[in-house]
Amino acid sequence: MKKRPNLLFLGIDSCRALNMGLCGYHRNNTPHISRMAEDGVNFLNCFSPSIPTPPGYSALLTGRDCFGTGIVTLRNVPELPKGITLQEVLGENGYASTCIGFGDGAYTHGFDKYITYPSWGADHDDGKAHKAMNLNEVAIPELKRLAAGDKPFFLFLRHMDPHSPYLPPAPFDRMFYGGDECDPENHSLDELYDFKPFRDYFREWFPAGCTDKEYVNAQYDGAIAYMDSCIQQLFSTLTDLGIEDETLIVLTSDHGETLDEHSCWYDHHGLYDVTLRVPLVLKFPGVVPAEGVVDDYVQQKDVMPTVLELLGIKTKLKFDGRSLTSFWTGKPREAEPEMYITEATWQRKHGWRTPEWKLIVALEPDFHYAPPVELYNLIKDPLELNNVADKEPAVVKMLKARMEKHIAKRKKACKTENPIDIAATLWNDIGRAFVSSDEAYNGMHIGDPAAAQKLQEQKK
């Protein structure tokens, strides 16, 4: 009996679509992934509606939205119910599974095997982070082991290169920058160094005396380029093993990243599109058409039902997302142009996004001293620089009504409270909502890469 197809799932952490060559970026920093995308379908408007990492990956691995998973925070993440994850469904259908980059945690339980690798700060004598090569050193032997088995496999890889600290090795560290990062006349990082919650963290991995934000931005692009070169080794291994044509490849991200925009400074908070929009590519020769490009809005919750359909697996599970195969099979698909958005990393907010408008509502004071309501016209102001909430009260009222209607519908359907409301006592370290921006500013702090890694650790 012929084995079912394999699944190679590349979950790239903190990878914003805006800075990827395959998504139209002016720098060609993803030549190998772009070539892979040409052999499959490239979704140019895939959104991660709930940030940060736990809600992003839990949506990808369950096909559910934040009401369906109950997960919206980075800290104090609730355990997903057993039996609803992609890895569990595949296990029930005879798959061997391995997760590289996560432990057995709240939303990653159900894999047969877990492997970790050095994926954060500088790990070599050159002072750079060789994250993707460290991953390959454990992933390629594991890929070969799984391919030699008598079961189809699901290999999940969490690439960390676009996640700070951005420390790509040479020559990628200078690939997109030829200036003087310590120019004393450059003051583009002055505001960052004045931001007490994050400045100690940045001083741990920025070059001593760094003054130029464009240098840091170039490190992000260089980290993606370095990762791309290492990912090609994975693709070549599939070819060498003779299993390229029987393996579905999924490449996506848990969320995007803010660089020097919106004063969020090299992190993934803020409900702006740089953080919400992520890459999504599907490749499966003979099943997924080549040279496919989709402009319609899709979401992370659509990935799991798509994967199961492409692998030929039926399940009784109900999904909040829908299979994306209709984009090339001709089946009717109702567009989903509006979405509910949430964040609970360094600030707790929610909102409503349409093709024209973005509404962001603060659920408690934030450490950026931002106004409680933000409204952006995404057609006139795609960079979300001009808050028009005071000028467009009718639009604010309309979008709030649509958001509240959606919340009420999802609460009823899931028989639950809104998880962003539940998060009021869970998302930060004080166990309650902040009462002022001063309290948030003085109460939120990250000191070094080790502290950042600890926040992301998944342990039962």
Task: For the chain, give the mean pLDDT.
Answer: 95
Considering the domain architecture, whether residues 153 and 134 belong to the same structural domain is answered as yes
**pLDDT tens digits for range 230-242:** 999 999 999 999 9
**pLDDT tens digits for range 304-324:** 999 999 999 999 999 999 999
Residue 448 has a pLDDT of: 63
Question: Domain for residue 239, yes or no?
Answer: yes
Q: Could you tell me if 85 and 62 are in contact, meaning their C-beta atoms sit under 8 angstroms apart? A: yes
Asked if the model's pLDDT at residue 365 lies above 90, the reply is yes
Local structure of residue 81 (DSSP, 8 states): P
Residues 6+ apart with CB under 8 A from 380: none
Strand partners, 374: 360
Question: Domain for residue 334, yes or no?
Answer: no
Considering the domain architecture, whether residues 376 and 344 belong to the same structural domain is answered as yes
CATH number at residue 266: 3.40.720.10
**pLDDT tens digits for range 68-103:** 999 999 999 999 999 999 999 999 999 999 999 999
| Domain total in the chain | 2
Local structure of residue 42 (DSSP, 8 states): E
Model pTM score: 0.96
Work out the pLDDT band at 122, boundaries 50, 70, 90.
confident
CATH number at residue 379: 3.30.1120.10
Asked if the model's pLDDT at residue 359 lies above 90, the reply is yes
Residue 144 has a pLDDT of: 98
Closest CA to 345 of 122, 72, 150: 72
Residue 460 has a pLDDT of: 41
Local structure of residue 53 (DSSP, 8 states): H
Q: Could you tell me if 212 and 181 are in contact, meaning their C-beta atoms sit under 8 angstroms apart? A: yes
What average pLDDT does the segment 26-50 reach?
A: 97
Residues 6+ apart with CB under 8 A from 212: 179, 180, 181, 182, 183, 186, 188, 189
Cα–Cα dist 71/68, whole Å: 8
Closest CA to 25 of 228, 169, 171: 228
Asked if the model's pLDDT at residue 459 lies above 70, the reply is no
Angle of CA points 190, 196, 199, to nearest 5°: 60
Considering the domain architecture, whether residues 48 and 136 belong to the same structural domain is answered as yes
Residues 6+ apart with CB under 8 A from 213: 188, 189, 192, 259, 260
Helices (H), 61-195: 66-69, 86-92, 131-148, 190-193
**pLDDT tens digits for range 127-157:** 999 999 999 999 999 999 999 999 999 999 9
What average pLDDT does the segment 437-444 reach?
A: 94
What average pLDDT does the segment 238-250 reach?
A: 98
Question: Domain for residue 45, yes or no?
Answer: yes
Residue 446 has a pLDDT of: 82
Q: In which domain, by residue range, is 415 found?
A: 339-456
Residue 452 has a pLDDT of: 65
Strand partners, 11: 158, 252
Considering 284, 306, 329, which residue would you say is the last residue of a domain? 329
Residue 447 has a pLDDT of: 72
